[in-house]
A and B are shown apart, each in its own frame.
Chain A
Amino acid sequence: GDSVTQMEGPVTLSEEAFLTINCTYTATGYPSLFWYVQYPGEGLQLLLKATKADDKGSNKGFEATYRKETTSFHLEKGSVQVSDSAVYFCALSEDTDKLIFGTGTRLQVFP
Protein backbone atom coordinates (compact mmCIF):
# COMPACT_ATOMS: atom_id res chain seq x y z
CA GLY A 1 0.00 0.00 0.00
CA ASP A 2 0.89 3.66 -0.16
CA SER A 3 3.32 4.98 2.43
CA VAL A 4 5.47 7.96 3.38
CA THR A 5 8.89 7.79 5.00
CA GLN A 6 10.46 10.79 6.72
CA MET A 7 13.83 11.29 8.30
CA GLU A 8 13.78 10.82 12.05
CA GLY A 9 14.21 13.81 14.27
CA PRO A 10 14.81 15.85 16.10
CA VAL A 11 16.64 18.08 13.68
CA THR A 12 18.51 20.71 15.68
CA LEU A 13 19.79 23.83 13.94
CA SER A 14 21.05 27.29 14.75
CA GLU A 15 19.10 30.27 13.49
CA GLU A 16 19.86 31.12 9.82
CA ALA A 17 21.08 27.61 9.04
CA PHE A 18 19.93 25.71 5.95
CA LEU A 19 17.22 23.13 6.48
CA THR A 20 16.49 19.90 4.65
CA ILE A 21 13.95 17.36 5.86
CA ASN A 22 13.86 14.27 3.67
CA CYS A 23 10.64 12.63 2.55
CA THR A 24 10.18 9.70 0.20
CA TYR A 25 6.97 7.98 -0.77
CA THR A 26 5.57 4.77 -2.19
CA ALA A 27 2.44 4.97 -4.31
CA THR A 28 0.83 2.98 -7.08
CA GLY A 29 -0.23 6.01 -9.10
CA TYR A 30 0.47 9.73 -9.20
CA PRO A 31 -0.30 11.19 -5.81
CA SER A 32 -0.51 14.76 -4.65
CA LEU A 33 2.17 15.54 -2.07
CA PHE A 34 1.97 17.80 0.97
CA TRP A 35 3.91 19.18 3.88
CA TYR A 36 1.93 19.96 7.00
CA VAL A 37 3.32 21.73 10.07
CA GLN A 38 2.26 21.48 13.70
CA TYR A 39 3.44 24.35 15.89
CA PRO A 40 3.50 23.79 19.67
CA GLY A 41 -0.04 23.81 21.05
CA GLU A 42 -1.65 24.26 17.64
CA GLY A 43 -3.40 22.13 15.05
CA LEU A 44 -1.91 20.81 11.83
CA GLN A 45 -1.59 23.43 9.11
CA LEU A 46 -0.98 22.94 5.42
CA LEU A 47 2.45 24.39 4.62
CA LEU A 48 2.74 23.63 0.91
CA LYS A 49 1.70 21.15 -1.73
CA ALA A 50 2.48 19.86 -5.22
CA THR A 51 0.04 17.98 -7.40
CA LYS A 52 2.19 16.68 -10.24
CA ALA A 53 5.76 15.75 -11.11
CA ASP A 54 8.31 18.60 -11.18
CA ASP A 55 5.89 20.98 -9.46
CA LYS A 56 7.48 23.09 -6.72
CA GLY A 57 5.39 24.00 -3.71
CA SER A 58 6.47 27.02 -1.68
CA ASN A 59 5.28 29.01 1.32
CA LYS A 60 6.88 31.09 4.11
CA GLY A 61 10.35 30.55 2.62
CA PHE A 62 9.94 26.76 2.55
CA GLU A 63 10.12 24.85 -0.74
CA ALA A 64 9.67 21.26 -1.88
CA THR A 65 9.88 19.80 -5.39
CA TYR A 66 7.89 16.75 -6.50
CA ARG A 67 10.52 14.34 -7.87
CA LYS A 68 8.86 11.38 -9.53
CA GLU A 69 12.14 9.76 -10.58
CA THR A 70 13.34 9.55 -6.96
CA THR A 71 9.83 9.41 -5.38
CA SER A 72 10.83 12.25 -3.09
CA PHE A 73 9.46 15.54 -1.79
CA HIS A 74 12.19 16.96 0.43
CA LEU A 75 11.44 20.12 2.41
CA GLU A 76 14.03 22.91 2.31
CA LYS A 77 14.48 26.39 3.72
CA GLY A 78 17.49 28.58 3.16
CA SER A 79 17.56 30.31 6.56
CA VAL A 80 15.54 28.97 9.47
CA GLN A 81 14.21 31.06 12.34
CA VAL A 82 13.42 30.15 15.94
CA SER A 83 9.75 30.53 15.04
CA ASP A 84 10.07 27.62 12.58
CA SER A 85 10.46 25.20 15.49
CA ALA A 86 7.63 22.70 15.02
CA VAL A 87 6.85 19.17 13.87
CA TYR A 88 6.74 18.74 10.09
CA PHE A 89 4.70 16.00 8.42
CA CYS A 90 5.02 14.82 4.84
CA ALA A 91 1.83 13.36 3.36
CA LEU A 92 0.36 12.04 0.15
CA SER A 93 -3.08 11.63 -1.35
CA GLU A 94 -3.91 9.36 -4.27
CA ASP A 95 -7.25 8.84 -5.93
CA THR A 96 -9.03 8.52 -2.63
CA ASP A 97 -9.84 11.47 -0.45
CA LYS A 98 -7.63 10.56 2.48
CA LEU A 99 -4.14 11.63 3.41
CA ILE A 100 -1.36 9.22 4.33
CA PHE A 101 1.14 10.83 6.68
CA GLY A 102 4.70 10.15 7.62
CA THR A 103 5.67 9.92 11.28
CA GLY A 104 6.75 13.55 11.50
CA THR A 105 10.10 15.28 12.02
CA ARG A 106 10.63 17.63 14.93
CA LEU A 107 12.67 20.74 14.11
CA GLN A 108 14.31 22.70 16.91
CA VAL A 109 15.94 26.01 16.04
CA PHE A 110 18.13 27.75 18.60
CA PRO A 111 19.14 31.42 18.58
Chain B
Amino acid sequence: GAGVSQTPSNKVTEKGKYVELRCDPISGHTALYWYRQSLGQGPEFLIYFQGTGAADDSGLPNDRFFAVRPEGSVSTLKIQRTERGDSAVYLCASSLTGAHYGYTFGSGTRLTVV
Protein backbone atom coordinates (compact mmCIF):
# COMPACT_ATOMS: atom_id res chain seq x y z
CA GLY B 1 0.00 0.00 0.00
CA ALA B 2 0.91 3.66 -0.13
CA GLY B 3 1.58 3.96 3.58
CA VAL B 4 1.74 2.01 6.81
CA SER B 5 -1.74 0.96 7.82
CA GLN B 6 -2.75 0.19 11.41
CA THR B 7 -6.02 -1.29 12.55
CA PRO B 8 -8.07 -0.63 14.51
CA SER B 9 -7.50 3.09 14.91
CA ASN B 10 -9.13 2.96 18.34
CA LYS B 11 -9.63 0.07 20.72
CA VAL B 12 -11.36 0.14 24.10
CA THR B 13 -11.05 -3.01 26.16
CA GLU B 14 -11.71 -4.10 29.71
CA LYS B 15 -8.92 -4.77 32.15
CA GLY B 16 -7.80 -8.38 31.92
CA LYS B 17 -8.87 -8.90 28.30
CA TYR B 18 -6.68 -9.92 25.37
CA VAL B 19 -6.13 -7.55 22.41
CA GLU B 20 -4.49 -7.76 19.01
CA LEU B 21 -3.25 -4.75 17.08
CA ARG B 22 -2.45 -5.08 13.40
CA CYS B 23 0.14 -3.37 11.23
CA ASP B 24 0.35 -3.56 7.45
CA PRO B 25 3.71 -2.08 6.34
CA ILE B 26 4.67 -0.50 3.06
CA SER B 27 5.04 -3.20 0.44
CA GLY B 28 8.64 -4.36 0.14
CA HIS B 29 9.80 -2.91 3.46
CA THR B 30 11.65 -5.68 5.24
CA ALA B 31 12.07 -3.86 8.55
CA LEU B 32 9.06 -3.32 10.83
CA TYR B 33 8.98 -1.62 14.22
CA TRP B 34 6.51 -1.25 17.07
CA TYR B 35 6.59 1.72 19.43
CA ARG B 36 4.35 2.83 22.28
CA GLN B 37 3.53 6.48 22.95
CA SER B 38 2.03 7.44 26.28
CA LEU B 39 0.32 10.79 26.74
CA GLY B 40 2.80 13.66 26.72
CA GLN B 41 5.75 11.40 25.96
CA GLY B 42 7.80 10.48 22.96
CA PRO B 43 7.46 7.07 21.36
CA GLU B 44 9.25 4.23 23.14
CA PHE B 45 10.70 1.28 21.25
CA LEU B 46 9.05 -2.10 21.76
CA ILE B 47 10.26 -4.54 19.08
CA TYR B 48 11.89 -4.65 15.66
CA PHE B 49 11.46 -7.28 12.93
CA GLN B 50 13.79 -7.93 10.03
CA GLY B 51 11.77 -10.15 7.76
CA THR B 52 9.92 -12.75 9.80
CA GLY B 53 12.19 -12.76 12.82
CA ALA B 54 12.32 -10.45 15.81
CA ALA B 55 15.78 -8.88 15.60
CA ASP B 56 15.38 -6.91 18.83
CA ASP B 57 12.57 -7.33 21.36
CA SER B 58 14.35 -5.59 24.21
CA GLY B 59 11.64 -2.95 24.56
CA LEU B 60 8.75 -5.30 25.32
CA PRO B 61 7.82 -4.39 28.91
CA ASN B 62 6.93 -7.89 30.12
CA ASP B 63 5.77 -11.30 28.95
CA ARG B 64 2.19 -10.11 28.47
CA PHE B 65 3.36 -8.46 25.25
CA PHE B 66 4.16 -10.50 22.17
CA ALA B 67 4.45 -9.72 18.47
CA VAL B 68 4.58 -11.83 15.33
CA ARG B 69 5.25 -11.34 11.65
CA PRO B 70 4.79 -14.82 10.19
CA GLU B 71 5.14 -14.02 6.48
CA GLY B 72 7.46 -11.05 6.70
CA SER B 73 4.75 -8.53 5.91
CA VAL B 74 1.78 -7.93 8.25
CA SER B 75 2.58 -7.87 11.96
CA THR B 76 0.34 -8.33 14.98
CA LEU B 77 1.10 -7.01 18.46
CA LYS B 78 -0.64 -9.11 21.09
CA ILE B 79 -1.29 -8.01 24.66
CA GLN B 80 -2.58 -10.51 27.22
CA ARG B 81 -4.34 -9.69 30.50
CA THR B 82 -4.42 -5.99 29.69
CA GLU B 83 -3.86 -3.47 32.48
CA ARG B 84 -4.88 0.17 32.71
CA GLY B 85 -1.21 1.14 32.39
CA ASP B 86 -1.16 -0.38 28.90
CA SER B 87 -3.35 2.49 27.67
CA ALA B 88 -1.35 4.35 25.03
CA VAL B 89 -1.02 4.89 21.30
CA TYR B 90 0.74 1.95 19.68
CA LEU B 91 2.70 2.98 16.61
CA CYS B 92 3.99 0.81 13.82
CA ALA B 93 6.67 1.85 11.33
CA SER B 94 8.41 0.24 8.41
CA SER B 95 11.64 0.92 6.58
CA LEU B 96 13.53 -0.31 3.55
CA THR B 97 16.94 0.79 4.75
CA GLY B 98 16.78 0.96 8.53
CA ALA B 99 16.57 3.53 11.28
CA HIS B 100 19.57 5.54 10.15
CA TYR B 101 17.64 6.75 7.11
CA GLY B 102 14.29 7.22 8.81
CA TYR B 103 11.11 5.21 9.04
CA THR B 104 7.54 5.67 7.79
CA PHE B 105 5.07 5.56 10.67
CA GLY B 106 1.43 4.57 10.65
CA SER B 107 -1.22 6.70 12.36
CA GLY B 108 -1.31 4.39 15.36
CA THR B 109 -3.85 2.46 17.38
CA ARG B 110 -5.13 4.23 20.46
CA LEU B 111 -5.66 1.56 23.12
CA THR B 112 -7.75 2.40 26.17
CA VAL B 113 -8.02 -0.15 28.97
CA VAL B 114 -10.95 0.54 31.29
Interchain pairs with CB closer than 8 A, number:
60
Q: Which residues does chain B contribute within 8 Å of A96, judged by CB atoms? A: 56, 99
**Which residues of B approach A to under 8 Å, CB–CB?**
4, 31, 33, 35, 40-45, 48, 50, 55-56, 59, 91, 93, 98-108
Among residues of B, the one whose C-beta sits closest to the C-beta of A98 is B45
The answer to whether A45 touches B105 (Cβ under 8 A) is yes
B45 with A100: CB separation less than 8 A: yes
Chain A interface bracket (under 10, 10 to 19, 20 to 34, 35 or more): 20 to 34
Chain B hits for A103, CB < 8 A: 40-42
Chain A hits for B108, CB < 8 A: 43
A42 touches B107 (CB 8 A): yes
Among the interface residues B44, B48, B99, which one has the most CB atoms of the partner chain A within 10 A?
B99
Contacts of A43 in B (CB 8 A): 4, 91, 105-108
